[in-house]
């Protein structure tokens, strides 16, 4: 097991991503950050806080539960649903940034795009991830990446966040470890 | 939980998880696109041996919102009315690849029989059997009560709920007594003694013959339908006398707490167990019960059908 | 006729002796028989089994004529023999109903032809079991079948005037009315015991009829027999009536001595029976009543049904269970192994008393020199597993499938000839 990102690394990555989001979208007026539970939701809150401190204005944040759109439901025991929270302003015509912790096969994001489509028609959808570990199985790419982390398929990337895990760090565990 | 046959199949945790899931499903029903891909490719059969348009279309809507294929099998005008047995019907559905059978039957225990038999391997959901149980109705009632009186979270502890009318023949009452008390509510059954089952004192509910005495203390009052044919079986002298003692009318409405809600599983006999003024009053949640029914049924279908067929799944591709 | 020397059996009172059978009669009983016939007799070792007088069932549905798909007199006789019975009483609810001399004689002759046990027909009380007009009770009594028991079983003789007349009329030939006690208007659409488990079939529907009928029997001075008693209250009423000197007898089925209405929770129609399985407290009262003699006999209410009548939802299923092949084991389990009955009392409840009630002179005799050699040998320490696929009845509807039961019938002798040896049916004297 090795530490891929320290707390300071994570903090710097999120700050950079915040700036990139603002730069790309020319501010935060039409911006909606949608975090994918569990850890993507906390990351989206952190990004919002950073952006607000830069822009001195409120940013719309929500969470998007993708469980009902997953394509692996039949492969695993049943999962509990998590609330989807859409900001009051909605997503219609907005620039939505999906936020997740680890970007791997791309299937989660595929499900998230479907889930978003069910709620309305954003002007654009972008993707921010803390870690991109590669091994994509779908033609999906991230717009904002905290860190590109080369891995083998069997390795496990574990993101820990202080909100629920007590500390900020990203760990890389070898194959077979749990 | 593999099937849903009785409210007593549910643990406290499972019951809450169904209500919590239903709350998420309700969001879909409120959204612009009322469709999820979750059960795409699954086949659900509505097997109705007893007429009940509202229950059937409710389950049909729930299944379709989750993208399941729905086959409606009504016993009327089918081979069943020509003497085909439950076994043959079940084996036919099995051959058609039914993943779930939602069964409504006038015989108590028919869903259990189906689930215990080897006639079908699908999930069995009881949509009302004889005078036995109607678990999804109880779940939607609990969901409705929780939404109005518990801001939609947690259990029903601290609430008092009256169920009024034909308890004896009511599968809705049976399931509700089990579920509502499981979730911590206090249940009071109000009926003439003829319409209370023998041994009701062993149910987890209080008994009263006096509706007026009960109403001021309840948070919700659930009126049950009085079947017209009960009048011919001496359960009570006349419809007028029944309404006089056990009907919900404007005078009795005034006895209720300000926050109390009025419920009815439908279809109503307006003027018999409930007056139109009460049914249509601002405190009535009767129409909303129907909408909540779809959410609860979606939750049940999701929890019983969406996951792996059994618990021992080989560790396959985990998406991330 | 073959002579048999039966060795290694224990009498119900515990005594051990050899039994010599010749000409269909017990001719000698001693620890070591010295008799001219011993040398020519076939020796059969019973390995310590208990000898009982051949069991007599007063309540058997053999379904012939009319429903030969579920049972015939011949198949029912085979089932009876392996269960240790030497006489059964064929209930009248056949198609056509056994309400004429012609039908009862037909059933009687089918029994003779099968030759594995005596089949005594029970005549209907009323024409077509309809409860309205008396059947020709006298003609049936005088027929070759010599009917002494009359019953509308399946239906209650509900009209009190009809019941009164029937009770009076059978005095002419020392007959008895066997009543299926069930008030029909209290049990409309009834499916299960009314109690904590389910509703509709209250005990009072049975008890009210028992109370009425013992009073009627008292009033007209006749004999009434209560079929398949199932409730604690019914036991009390019969006990009270006997104390008053009323000529009432009563039976209990093996399944009501063992199973409770909890079984119905499964909604498996294998447990659907009329009268229904009752509460645990009723079961205990029935055992007590059988032990103290309030309930005179055990009767099987053997009720065969084809698979399709049970492979369905509860309310569509037929009432009834088969019972001939498990009766003695259930009685041992519920009554003997619990210390409530001795084997001598089992002999009384399952042979002497039923034969007395039915006036079956050749049955229920004591195991003694000069008695007709109707004998059953049971090994109480041999346990066996019930397998519905191995029953000799044509129907498989036993609620005891898969259960391990104590006590195996080793041998049955019917009028001096073995019908069962080593627990296997052997061809009887005139077997088909």
CA distances from B125 to A111, B39, B289, C255 (A): 29, 16, 19, 32
Neighbours of C304 (CB within 10 A): 30
- Based on the domain organization, do C237 and C121 belong to the same domain? yes
Instruction: Please state at what angle helix C73-82 crosses helix C101-114, rounded to 10 degrees.
Output: 50
What is the total count of domains within chain C? Answer: 2
Q: Considering the domain boundaries, does residue C432 fall inside one?
A: no
Search chain B and give the residue with CA nearest C307: B87
In whole angstroms, what is the distance from residue B48 CA to residue B89 CA? Answer: 11
Among B224, B248, B221, which residue's Cα sits nearest to residue B170? B224
Residues 6+ apart with CB under 8 A from B95: none
* Angle separating helix axes C160-169 and C204-220, nearest 10 degrees: 40
Q: Output phi, psi for C341, to 5 deg.
A: -130, 145
Q: Does domain B135-286 have CATH number 3.40.50.1370?
A: yes
The tens digit of pLDDT for each residue in C278-325 reads 999 999 999 999 999 999 999 999 999 999 999 988 988 999 999 999
Better pLDDT: C12 or B316: C12
Is residue C390 in some structural domain? yes
* Chains touching B, CB cut-off 8 Å, 3+ pairs: A, C
Domain B7-134+291-305 has CATH 2.130.10.10: no
Q: What CATH number is associated with residue C408?
A: 2.30.40.10
Predicted local confidence at residue B77, as pLDDT? 57
Chain C interface includes B241 (CB < 8 A): no
Give yes or no for C191 touching B (CB within 8 A).
Answer: yes
User: Which of B80, B113, B166 to probe by mutation at the C interface, max C CB count within 10 Å?
Assistant: B113
C40 Cβ under 8 Å from any chain B Cβ: no
CB contact under 8 A, B108 and C268: no
C199 contacts in B (CB within 8 Å)? Answer: 131, 168, 197-198
List of residues 6+ apart from B192 with CB closer than 8 A: B209, B235, B236, B242, B245, B246
Q: What is the pLDDT along chain B (320 residues), one digit of tens a residue?
A: 899 999 999 999 999 999 999 999 998 888 777 889 999 999 999 999 888 888 999 999 999 999 999 999 887 655 565 567 888 888 988 998 999 999 999 889 999 999 998 898 999 999 999 999 999 999 999 999 999 999 999 999 999 999 999 999 999 999 999 999 999 999 999 999 999 998 898 899 999 999 999 999 999 999 999 987 777 778 999 999 999 999 999 999 999 999 999 999 988 999 999 999 999 999 999 999 999 999 999 999 999 999 887 543 333 333 33
DSSP C370: T
Chain B interface residues (partner A, CB cutoff 8 A):
17, 20-21, 23-25, 27-28, 31-33, 35-38, 66, 302-303, 306-309, 311, 313, 316-320
> Are C237 and C332 in the same domain?
yes
The reply to whether C364 falls in a domain is no
The residue ranges of every structural domain in chain A are 14-154
State whether residue C175 sits within 8 Å of chain B by CB: no
Instruction: Name the token pair of A40.
Output: 């993507």
List the chains bordering chain C where 3 or more Cβ pairs fall under 8 Å. B
Between strands C55-60 and C25-30, the pairing is unpaired
Per-residue pLDDT of A24-60, as tens digits, reads 999 889 999 999 999 999 999 999 999 999 999 999 9
Report pLDDT for B319: 38
Other CB atoms within a 10 A radius of the CB of residue C27 amount to 20
Active site residue C301: yes
If asked whether residues C39 and C119 sit together in one domain, one would say no
Going along chain A, which residue ranges are E strands? 2-5, 31-35, 60-63, 95-103, 124-132, 144-148, 156-160, 169-173
Find the domain containing C420 and state its range. Answer: 4-51+369-425
The ipTM, to two decimals, is: 0.84
The DSSP-derived string for B123-185 is: EEEEEEETTTB-HHHHHHHHHHHHHHHSTT-S--TT-EEEEES--TT-HHHHHHHHHHHHTT-
The answer to whether residue A169 scores a pLDDT higher than 50 is: yes
Interface of chain A toward chain B, CB-CB under 8 angstroms: 65, 68-84, 102-105, 107-108, 114, 117-120, 157
pLDDT for B310: 57
Q: C120 and C155: one domain? A: yes
C68 and C182 in one domain? yes
Contacts 24+ apart (CB under 8 A), C26-30: C26/C367, C26/C368, C26/C369, C26/C370, C26/C371, C26/C372, C26/C373, C27/C369, C28/C369, C29/C367, C29/C368, C29/C369
Catalytic residue among C99, C118, C296, C301: C301
- In chain B, whose CA is at the least distance from the CA of A75? B308
Q: Over the stretch B16-60, which tens digit does the pLDDT of each residue have?
A: 999 999 999 998 888 777 889 999 999 999 999 888 888 999 999
Closest partner residue to B308 among A74, A83, A103, by Cβ?
A: A74
Run of H or E residues at C282:
helix C280-292
Residue C401: per-residue pLDDT: 97
Q: Do the strands B160-164 and B186-190 form a parallel or antiparallel pair, or are they unpaired? A: parallel
- Boundary residue ending a domain (C339, C358, C377): C358
B36 contacts in A (CB within 8 Å)?
68-69, 118
CATH assignment at residue C165: 3.20.20.140
In chain B, CATH 3.40.50.1370 sits at 7-134+291-305, 135-286
C171 shares a domain with C283: yes
Q: What is the pLDDT of residues C322-349, one digit of tens each?
A: 999 999 999 999 999 999 999 999 999 9
The Cα-based distances of C56 to C175, C327, C375 in angstroms read: 17, 11, 11
Judge: domain A14-154, CATH 3.40.50.10490. Answer: no
How far is Cα B317 from Cα A27, in angstroms, rounded to an integer?
39
């Amino acid at each position: 097991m090795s530490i891929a990102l320290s707390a300071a690394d994570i903090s710097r990555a999120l700050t950079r991503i915040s700036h990139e989001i603002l730069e790309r979208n020319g501010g935060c007026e039409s911006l909606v950050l949608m975090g994918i539970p569990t850890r993507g939701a906390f990351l989206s809150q952190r990004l919002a806080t950073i952006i607000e401190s830069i822009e001195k204005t409120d940013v719309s944040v929500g969470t998007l539960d993708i469980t009902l759109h997953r394509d692996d439901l039949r492969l695993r025991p049943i999962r509990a649903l998590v609330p989807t929270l859409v900001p009051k302003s909605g997503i219609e015509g907005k620039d939505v940034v999906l936020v997740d912790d680890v970007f791997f096969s791309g299937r989660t994001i595929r499900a998230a795009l479907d889930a978003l489509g069910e709620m309305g028609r954003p002007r654009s959808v972008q993707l921010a991830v803390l870690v991109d570990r590669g091994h994509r199985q779908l033609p999906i790419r991230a717009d904002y990446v905290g860190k590109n982390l080369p891995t083998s398929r069997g390795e496990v990337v574990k993101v820990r966040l202080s909100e629920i895990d007590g500390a900020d760090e990203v760990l890389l565990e070898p194959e077979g470890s749990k | 939980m593999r099937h849903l046959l009785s409210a007593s199949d549910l643990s406290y945790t499972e019951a809450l998880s169904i209500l919590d899931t239903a709350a998420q499903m309700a969001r879909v029903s409120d959204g612009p696109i009322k469709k999820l891909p979750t059960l795409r490719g699954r086949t659900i059969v509505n097997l109705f041996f007893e007429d009940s348009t509202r229950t059937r279309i409710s389950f049909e809507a729930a299944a379709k919102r989750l993208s399941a294929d729905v086959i409606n099998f009504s016993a009327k005008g089918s081979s069943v009315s020509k003497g085909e047995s439950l076994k043959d019907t079940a084996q036919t559905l099995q051959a058609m690849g039914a993943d779930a059978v939602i069964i409504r039957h006038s015989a108590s225990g028919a869903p259990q029989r189906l689930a215990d038999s080897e006639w079908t391997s699908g999930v069995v959901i009881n949509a009302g059997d004889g005078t036995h149980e109607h678990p999804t109705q109880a779940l939607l009632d609990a969901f409705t009560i929780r939404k109005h009186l518990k801001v939609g979270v947690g259990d029903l502890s601290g609430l008092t709920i009256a169920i009024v009318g034909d308890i004896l023949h009511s599968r809705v009452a049976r399931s509700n007594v089990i579920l509502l008390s499981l979730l911590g509510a206090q249940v009071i059954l109000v009926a003439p003694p003829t319409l209370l089952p023998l041994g009701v004192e062993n149910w987890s509910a209080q008994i009263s013959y006096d509706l007026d005495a009960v109403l001021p203390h309840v948070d919700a009052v659930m009126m049950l339908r009085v079947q017209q044919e009960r009048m011919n079986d001496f359960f009570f002298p006349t419809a007028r006398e029944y309404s006089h003692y056990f009907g919900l009318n404007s005078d009795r409405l005034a006895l209720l707490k300000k926050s109390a809600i009025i419920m009815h599983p439908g279809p109503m006999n307006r003027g018999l167990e409930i007056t139109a003024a009460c049914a249509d009053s601002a405190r009535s949640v009767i129409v909303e019960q129907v909408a909540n029914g779809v959410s609860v049924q979606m939750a049940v279908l999701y929890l019983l059908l969406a996951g792996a067929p059994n618990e021992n799944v080989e560790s396959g591709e985990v998406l991330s | 006729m073959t002579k048999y020397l039966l060795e290694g059996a224990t009498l119900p009172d515990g005594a051990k002796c050899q039994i010599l059978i010749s000409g269909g009669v017990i001719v000698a009983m001693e620890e070591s028989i010295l008799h001219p016939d011993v040398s020519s007799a076939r020796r059969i070792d019973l390995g310590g089994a208990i000898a009982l007088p051949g069991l007599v069932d007063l309540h058997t549905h053999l379904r012939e004529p009319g429903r030969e798909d579920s049972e015939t007199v011949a198949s029912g006789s085979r089932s009876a023999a392996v269960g240790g019975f030497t006489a059964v009483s064929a209930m009248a609810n056949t198609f056509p109903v056994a309400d004429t001399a012609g039908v009862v004689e037909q059933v009687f002759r089918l029994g003779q032809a099968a030759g594995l046990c005596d089949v005594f027909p029970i005549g209907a009380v009323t024409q077509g079991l309809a409860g309205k007009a008396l059947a020709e009770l006298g003609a049936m009594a005088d027929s070759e079948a010599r009917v002494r028991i009359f019953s509308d079983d399946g239906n209650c003789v509900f009209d009190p005037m009809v019941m009164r007349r029937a009770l009076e009329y059978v005095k002419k030939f020392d007959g008895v009315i066997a009543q299926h006690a069930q008030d029909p208007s209290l049990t409309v659409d009834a499916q299960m015991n009314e109690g904590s488990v389910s509703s509709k079939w209250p005990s009072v529907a049975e008890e009210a009829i028992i109370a009425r009928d013992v009073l009627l029997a008292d009033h007209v001075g006749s004999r009434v027999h209560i079929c398949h008693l199932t409730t604690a209250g019914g036991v009390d009423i019969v006990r009270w009536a006997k104390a008053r000197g009323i000529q009432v007898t009563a039976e209990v089925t093996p399944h009501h001595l063992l199973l409770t209405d909890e079984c119905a929770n499964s909604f498996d129609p294998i447990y659907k029976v009329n009268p229904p399985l009752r509460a645990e407290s009723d079961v205990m009262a029935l055992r007590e009543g059988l032990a103290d003699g309030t309930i005179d006999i055990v009767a099987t209410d053997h009720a065969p049904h084809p698979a399709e009548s049970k492979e369905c939802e509860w309310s569509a299923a037929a009432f009834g269970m088969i019972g001939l092949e498990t009766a003695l084991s259930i009685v041992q389990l519920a009554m003997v192994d619990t210390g409530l009955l001795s084997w001598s009392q089992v002999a009384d409840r399952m042979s002497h008393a039923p034969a007395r009630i039915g006036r079956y002179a050749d049955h229920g005799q004591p195991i003694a020199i000069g008695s007709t050699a109707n004998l059953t040998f049971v090994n109480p320490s041999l346990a066996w597993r019930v397998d519905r696929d191995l029953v000799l009845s044509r129907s498989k509807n036993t609620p005891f499938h898969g259960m391990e039961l104590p006590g195996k019938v080793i041998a049955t002798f019917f009028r001096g000839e073995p019908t069962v040896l080593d627990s296997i049916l052997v061809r009887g004297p005139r077997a088909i």
